[in-house]
Structure 1
Amino acid sequence: MPLFSVIIPLFNKENFIETTLKSALNQTFSDFEILIINDGSTDKSEEKVLNFNDNRIRYFSKENEGVSATRNFGIKKANGEIIAFLDADDYWYPNHLENLFQLYNQFPECGLYCTNYERFYNTNKIVKPFFVAIPEFPWKGIVKDFFKSSYIDRIAWTSAVAIPKIVFNKVGCFDTKITLGAGEDTHLWLRIALKYKVALDTEISSRHVLDAENRISLSNTLKRKFAKFDEFKEEEKTNLSLKKYLDLYRLEFAIKHKLAGDLTTFNYYIENIDRKNIPFKTKILISLPVSILQKLFSIKKYLERKNILFSVYH
């Protein structure tokens, strides 16, 4: 029985899956299996995977159900003690599983293990995250306040986390009611962080590839079912950092819906936010008419293509 089960959900990533899979196979830590779950791809993704001949790979193919159901399928099929996730267009450096293994050995009481990562936009723009109240590299340890440390950049990112399989028995798996990258991963991380300690290694060992084609996060807002976070309202009353953490997500989701012209959902999210948690510049943005907000968003996307990045959420 392997220690790690690496779960790779696959949907129409023929141009990326080879590089991703090679990065997983080339780990310095060798006690793992890889489960590739083809979620109804219509391109040559399956052909690319079947070209690999490695007994650590277990390949499954099923009808398209979305990324949450696909990851849950992999969790149920996994033989490993620890589940690690890798999206089919992301990348691991060779020491990634080794770093997770060391975290697991050093902090066995945790329910979520995270390593640092970089965001790759293009060869000229690679960004390192900033975590609030976390020391710079080299540091590894228990995160004192997972929610506060994730105000600016998120400590837990899907292709850089590992979770003991037993934890899913306590908190459940990915919520399939949340679809198309609209908060299903965040929803699981915070459920775990409310019940377990979280460990972090600040060494970068993975890459979030943001120039990839067909990213689910680029899907049309009105086709997605976003996390509501209503089940955490009691915890928010006494956990102020959790409240701000969720309000920042509510703010992001609100703006997406206003840009899409869905003012009903926009108002739903805004009404559940403590105004003290909205940055001043964002208060101005959410007060603007839809047409002006859309123009500003177009300018933001243009600047991003010029490698000028900024956030309206802090």
Structure 2
Amino acid sequence: MPDMRPETSVIIPTWNRRELVARAIDSVLDQTREVEEIIVVDDGSTDGTGEVLAQRYGERITVLVQANAGVSAARNRGLAMARGRYLALLDSDDVWLPEKIARQVAFLESNPGIGLVLCDVVRVGVDGATIDVFERRVQIPEDGPALRWVLRDPALAPLSALMRREVHEDVGGFDESLRTAEDLDFHLRVAARWGIGVVPEPLARALRGHDGLSALASTEDDYIAVMERAAEAAKGAVPEDARRQALATAYVKNAESSVWRQRYGEAWALARKAWALGPEAPLRRRLLRLPVMAGKRAVRSMLPGGG
């Protein structure tokens, strides 16, 4: 009996973005390879999102409405409802370029050992001007087992991913207990169990510099908790030095962020953790620059007993 499931399902969480979400949906409908199931999860919008979508798209999309519970809960509800052999995520302020699904489905069909495939992402400002390009091949230099690289740089950009249904069934959804860094946590859990591939082409555009789901930066607490948990789980799965350097990188990155936020005590604590791991030369140089970043007055507050 033939498989009657959709080939690809996309889940689009949204909250009070009735204009932007329509742009996201249109980019899915414009794919050169049809996305047969479009699920929009309205996470408690109060701007008439549901009515606008019903009028504009009718039965071409499925809209699930829930009380506001956050992006992870919205993604998880959509993933639980999706029927496709391949599953994709798209935040409501982002868009796909027309060849995105065609290129990624073809990749997965040609690489049965890969569970999730990523693409490059063009990041744009509110004026439409390009900010930069997130090049995935820099992050993941070769297709296949990728935990050692994802540990070092766990950024996911959910709009760039297409995964086999079995990946979600295996690793589960997004951790709803995390306020931020839930996408990093998901990427790390996938990398621990599945091969990851890259189509090194810019096939998606992410909007930056406005309020909303993707404008939230990961807090230091969530980021560090996710990285420490992943590093502990990776013992024996990656070379020990690679595991330690990945954890040191996380500490250094967040120490720098803490300095910029004038949270000097936290910066100092993270810097000490990073130093204890024996960081490689580039990380040591970044640690030694922290006092310069902080300034003399801040340095005194970072010293034991300083004020």
Shorter-normalised TM range: 0.7 to 0.9
- 2:138 corresponding residue in structure 1: 132
Paired with 1:249 and 1:43, the residues of 2 have a C-alpha distance of: 38
Counterpart among 7, 21, 33 of residue 11 in structure 2? 7
1:200-239 alpha-carbon deviations (Å, 9 max, x no partner): 11121101111333245446959x8445123332525743
Q: Give me the TM-score of the superposition, normalised by structure 1.
A: 0.77
Q: Per the alignment, in what secondary structure is the counterpart of residue 201 of structure 2?
A: strand
8 A contact 2:148–2:243 mirrored in 1: yes
8 A contact 1:29–1:98 mirrored in 2: yes
- 2:171 corresponding residue in structure 1: 171
Q: Per the alignment, in what secondary structure is the counterpart of residue 111 of structure 1?
A: strand
Paired with 1:227 and 1:57, the residues of 2 have a C-alpha distance of: 38
C-alpha change, 1:216 and 1:285, in structure 2 (3 Å) is: farther
Aligned length: 285
Aligned Cα root-mean-square deviation (Å): 3.3
Paired with 1:52 and 1:74, the residues of 2 have a C-alpha distance of: 20
Of all paired residues, the percent bearing the same amino acid is 22
The gaps in structure 1 that reach 5 residues or longer are 136-140, 295-314
More divergent stretch after superposition (82-91 vs 234-243): 234-243
8 A contact 1:6–1:35 mirrored in 2: yes
C-alpha displacement at 1:286, in angstroms?
A: 3.4
8 A contact 1:132–1:150 mirrored in 2: no
- 1:202 corresponding residue in structure 2: 200
8 A contact 1:111–1:193 mirrored in 2: no
C-alpha displacement at 1:26, in angstroms?
A: 1.0
The gaps in structure 2 that reach 5 residues or longer are 299-307
Q: Per the alignment, in what secondary structure is the counterpart of residue 205 of structure 1?
A: strand
Larger radius of gyration: 2
Q: Give me the TM-score of the superposition, normalised by structure 2.
A: 0.78
Paired with 2:192 and 2:219, the residues of 1 have a C-alpha distance of: 28
Paired with 1:4 and 1:293, the residues of 2 have a C-alpha distance of: 56
C-alpha displacement at 1:113, in angstroms?
A: 1.2
C-alpha change, 1:39 and 1:285, in structure 2 (3 Å) is: farther
Paired with 2:29 and 2:222, the residues of 1 have a C-alpha distance of: 34
- Kindly report which structure 2 residues correspond to 1:45-194, keeping only aligned pairs within 5 A, or say none: 45-121=49-125, 122-130=127-135, 131-132=137-138, 142-143=143-144, 145=146, 147-148=148-149, 154=155, 156-179=156-179, 182-194=180-192
Q: Which has the higher helix share?
A: 2
C-alpha displacement at 1:285, in angstroms?
A: 4.8
1:53-103 alpha-carbon deviations (Å, 9 max, x no partner): 253311011111111111111111111111100010001011111111101
